[in-house]
Amino acid sequence: MPHPATAIHETGGAIAPHMRRLLEFVEPSGDDVCLDVARGGGPMAAALGPQVRHVTAVDATPARAGSRGGRMSTVTFGTGPVRIARDCDLPPASTTSPDGLATGAAAAAAVVAAGPGARTAAREPRRPRGDGPDGGTIRADATALPYRDNAFSLVTARFSLYNLGEPEHVLRELLRVCRPDGRLIIADLVRGNLAGPDRDRIERLRDPDHPGTPSIARLTEMITSAGASIRRLDVFTVERPVEPWLAGAADEAAADRIREALTDEVDGGPRTGAKPRMIGGELWFTQSWAHVAAEPIS
């Protein structure tokens, strides 16, 4: 088994590059009142906390009938070390959204070129001011959030949209609690519009409940159909070591099958769609991530 890679902290101390990239994309304001909706715990609320007025964190892990304690087992995202691929590793073509926004490699390159301090260098991080109605993290249904309409100026969902219920229902609820002049940020896995679904075979070996990876077009279509206008889009490729990701596998037998499939591909065997390779004696693979910024249509 490959030796585990050194972890990169997502909260506390230095912020991992992929989280810094997301925060730059979010553009948090010291006046923002935020809602972060996640499956289980996650780093987003803690990362936003020093830069906004208040953050409410919702654990929207869905319950499943017949499971022990009424709660389904959570297969964690298991980020571990993440390396953002170089521009030359990104898809060479870029597309344009209906709003005329660059996507794909062009959008990703623009965010990278801006640098981690491009938008925040002139703003000192702020500590949260005052206590909101919800201290810490609360449990709630993502399709029936216990908040009034237009309650938050910033609503975020990171790697959880497809695990919290019907995505269309979740999106409508996230937009309901977002102010008309606010913004909704969705960060999730995607596949290229022309890529096939073969990549999901590996994902489902790890998590049998994996709902499938949406194409970029499908994700943006769902957001606009729910009643939002897409303002910015950042799509990029990351490389991750296999072992931290496999820590969330359903069982060790499934993890072994994934290792075998990826190792076979490195040795010239059948393609899995994960583009594995060895880095420093460890097995790494790739994923495509998307950050989408949307605004409710009034």
**Rounded Cα gap, residues 247 and 78, in angstroms:** 7
Q: What is the pLDDT of residue 64?
A: 54
Q: What is the pLDDT of residue 121?
A: 28
Position 6 pLDDT exceeds 50: no
| Token pair for 35 | 């809602």
Position 67 pLDDT exceeds 80: no
Higher pLDDT, 196 or 163: 163
CB under 8 Å to 287, separation ≥6 — which residues?
189, 237, 238, 240, 274
**Rounded Cα gap, residues 263 and 256, in angstroms:** 10
β-strand partners of 157:
186
pLDDT digits (tens, 9 = 90+) for 109-120: 333 223 323 333
Whether the CB-CB separation of 249 and 210 falls below 8 Å is answered with: no
Confidence of residue 287 (pLDDT cuts 50, 70, 90): very high
Higher pLDDT, 199 or 21: 21
Mean pLDDT of 185-205: 85
Q: Give the ranges where the chain is alpha helix by DSSP (H).
A: 17-26, 44-48, 104-114, 167-176, 200-206, 216-225, 242-246, 252-266
Instruction: Give the three-state DSSP class for 60.
Output: coil
Min mean pLDDT across 82-86, 139-143, 161-165 is at: 82-86
| Among candidate residues 270, 275, 259, the one with its CA nearest the CA of residue 85 | 275
Q: What is the pLDDT of residue 61?
A: 84
Furthest CA-CA distance within the chain: 57
Q: What is the pTM of this model?
A: 0.75
pLDDT digits (tens, 9 = 90+) for 81-91: 777 776 434 33
Q: What is the pLDDT of residue 258?
A: 96
Report the percentage of the chain scoring pLDDT > 70: 71
Mean pLDDT of 246-264: 94
| Token pair for 48 | 């936003």
CB under 8 Å to 255, separation ≥6 — which residues?
206, 246, 249
Whether the CB-CB separation of 34 and 155 falls below 8 Å is answered with: yes
Identify residue 280 by its one-letter amino acid code: G
Mean pLDDT of 110-135: 34
Average predicted confidence (pLDDT) for the chain: 77
Helix axes 104-114, 17-26, angle to 10 degrees: 100
**Rounded Cα gap, residues 288 and 82, in angstroms:** 12
Identify residue 62 by its one-letter amino acid code: P
Confidence of residue 63 (pLDDT cuts 50, 70, 90): low
| Token pair for 253 | 């037998």
| Among candidate residues 93, 96, 124, 122, the one with its CA nearest the CA of residue 220 | 96
Min mean pLDDT across 72-76, 142-146, 215-219 is at: 72-76
Confidence of residue 211 (pLDDT cuts 50, 70, 90): confident
